[in-house]
Structure 1
Amino acid sequence: MDIKSKNKFLYIIIFIIAIYSLSLSCLISYDLIKNRNYIVAKDPYFNSFEFDEEITSFSQNLCNLYIYYKDYNEKVGESKVTKEDLDGLRVYYEDQLKTSETEIQNKYNEYILNAEKSGDKNRVTALTNEKNEKLDSLRKENLKTEDQLKKEVALRYTKDYEDIKKVMETRKDIKYYINDTKNKKIYTNLPKGTNINEYLKSKSLYNISLPLNNLSNNIRFKQSHWIFSSSSWKGYIIIPKNLNSDSYILKNYHYYNSVRDRLLKECIIGSLSLILGISMLILLKNRKITSITILDKIKKVYFNLPLDLKIFIFVIYTVLMSTYLINISFFYKPLGIAHFTKLSFVSIYILYLIFNIKYAIKLKQNKDILSAEYKNSLIIKLLNKFKKSNLNKNIKFKIIFFIAFSALLGMFILLVLVLGIRNIFIAAVITIGYVFLIIRYLFKKADYLNEILKATEEIASGNLDYVIEEKGEETLSKIASNINSMKQGYKKSLEQQIKSERLKTELITNVSHDLKTPLTSIINYVNLLRDNDLTKEDTNAYIEILSRKSDRLKILIDDLFEASKMSSGSVDLNIEKVDVNSLLQQSIGELEEKIKEASLILRFKYNNKKIYANLDGKRTWRVFENLINNIIKYSQPNTRVYIDLIEKDNNIVVTMKNISNYEMNFNSDELFERFKRGDKSRNTDGSGLGLAIAKSIVELQGGTLNIQIDGDLFKVIVKFKKVMK
Structure 2
Amino acid sequence: MATKSRSKLVPWLAWGLLSYLIALGLLAASDVLKNQEYLQKDYYFRSPAFYEQLQQHFNLFRNVHVVYNHWEDKTDAEKIGQARMEQWTRHFETMKTIEVEQRKAEVQNQIQTLQTWIDNEVAIAKEKREQAANSAEESGAEQAKAQSQDAQNPPDAEEQAEIARIRKEIALLQDTEANILPNAERQKNERIEKEIKNYLDFHNKQYAAVKHSLSARSGSFYYYVQDLETGEMYANRGDRPASAEIAEAFYAIRLPQTTLEGGALQSINRSFQQYRLEGIFLFPKEPRGFSQMIADHAYFNTLRQRLIYELYVLGATVAAAAALIFYLRRNRCGIEVVQQNYTAVIRGIPLEPRLLLFYVLTMFALSYGSSAALFRLPVGPSHFAQWTLLALLIGCLGLLLGDAVLLLRNPQALREQWNAGLYRKLQGYIQAKLVDRLILTKAILIFVMTVLFGVFLFNVMKNFNFTSFTYFYYGTPFPEGYVLFYTFVVMPYLFRRILTFSRILTGAEAIASGRFDHTIVEKGRGNLARLAHLLNNIRQSIKTSVERETKSERLKSELITNVSHDLKTPLTSIMNYVDLLKHKDLPPETIASYVEVLDRKTQRLKVLIDDLFEASKMASGSVELAVEHVNVADLLQQALAEFSDKIEASTLTFRVRVDNPKVTAPLDGRKTWRVFENLISNALKYAMPHTRVHLALTEEADKVVFTINNVAAYELNFDVDEIFERFKRGDTSRNTEGSGLGLAIAKSIVELQGGQLRIDIDGDYFKVRVEFAREAKAAAS
TM-score computed with the length of structure 1 as normaliser: 0.45
Which is greater in Rg? Answer: 1
TM-score computed with the length of structure 2 as normaliser: 0.42
